[in-house]
Amino acid sequence: MSQKVMLITGGSRGIGAEIAKGAANQGYFVIINYTRGAKEAQGVVDQIKSAGGQAVAIQADCSKEDEIVRLFKDADQYGSLEAFVANAGIIGGQNPVTETTFAQLRELFDINVIGLMISTREAVKRMSTTLGGKGGRIVLMSSVAARTGGIAQEIHYAASKAAVDGFLMGLAKEVGNAGIRVNAVRPGLIGTSIHDLHGGREVIEKWGAGVPMGRIGEPTEVAQTVLWLCSDQSSYIHGALIDVSGGR
Ligand code: NAP
């Protein structure tokens, strides 16, 4: 098959769902990964198909290596992977450092860091021109929390995203000569259900008043940046951390 394929982890809701819909509009065959939200993932697939696009949903827990490997193997049947977005992530609870538990950090880092690194490994194995691939584009989902320390009592989340930034910079050096462009996006306060943990949209809209642009961002505003990084319009952008944060 010669169709261009994009795989998005955590594509059933929020930012990932908007990336999926935008990518389908640009002609990608979109593979939407999710863990628990089968109905939501199918809803995104249905929206894409009714607009004339192509997509499929594949369940896999991206905090588990065997499930990540299966996800990529399943994805292979749809064509060669041109773009990969490592988007799946969680906040991992809200509590002061004195109440942090090992189990909490284990779960958080398994998805936000180890799962992201293992899924990126699978993408690089398929894309690398030095391994027989055709090259490709990878976007890692970080957060402005990586440089600000994040929201109060969510420093574990900030630490996990800082690990993503370090991984990005090293990976760019490793794969730049292998036909792969890799970049990271650092969203600020974006209106998705990830914020249900600390009161939902109503609460973050109040925080939005303190953002230099005076408002929170929308998932489509992050998706547009990701899709630009996957396009030829960003052909010399590599190893970059792009803030989508209204100046925050
Ligand atoms: P969201 O609305 O909560 O959506 C999270 C997505 O990740 C869902 O599709 C969810 O699927 C999936 N997911 C969670 N755990 C997973 C796992 N173990 N394996 C596979 N998929 C998993 O979150 P969002 O706000 O769109 O955030 C997306 C990314 O942007 C995250 O990495 C987040 O840290 C980052 N980010 C968000 C903001 C913001 O303000 N929203 C700011 C900075 C960075 P299921 O429903 O099936 O679990």
Evaluate: CB of 119 within 6 angstroms of ligand 1: no
- Within 8 A by CB and 6+ apart from 62, the residues are 9, 10, 33, 35, 68, 71, 88, 111, 115, 116, 119
Q: Please give the chain's pLDDT, 248 residues, in tens.
A: 568 999 999 999 999 999 999 999 999 999 999 999 999 999 999 999 999 999 999 999 999 999 999 999 999 999 999 999 999 999 999 999 999 999 999 999 999 999 999 999 999 999 999 999 999 999 999 999 999 999 999 999 999 999 999 999 999 999 999 999 999 999 999 999 999 998 899 999 999 999 999 999 999 999 999 999 999 999 999 999 999 999 99
Residue with CA nearest ligand 1 atom 46: 37
Give pTM, 2 decimals.
0.98
Return the pLDDT at 132.
98
The alpha carbons of the chain give a radius of gyration, in whole angstroms, of: 17
pLDDT at res. 2:
65
Query: What is the Å distance from ligand 1's center to 177 Cα?
Result: 30
Superfamily for 5-244?
A: NAD(P)-binding Rossmann-like Domain (3.40.50.720)
Distance 11 CA to ligand 1 centre (A): 8
Q: Where are the domains of the chain?
A: 5-244
Buried b (16+ CB within 10 A) or exposed e, 42-54: bebbeebeeeebb
**Cα-to-centroid distance, 131 and ligand 1 (Å):** 31
Atom index in ligand 1 nearest the CA of residue 204 equals 40
Catalytic residues: 157
Question: In ligand 1, which atom is closest to the CA atom of 193?
Answer: 2
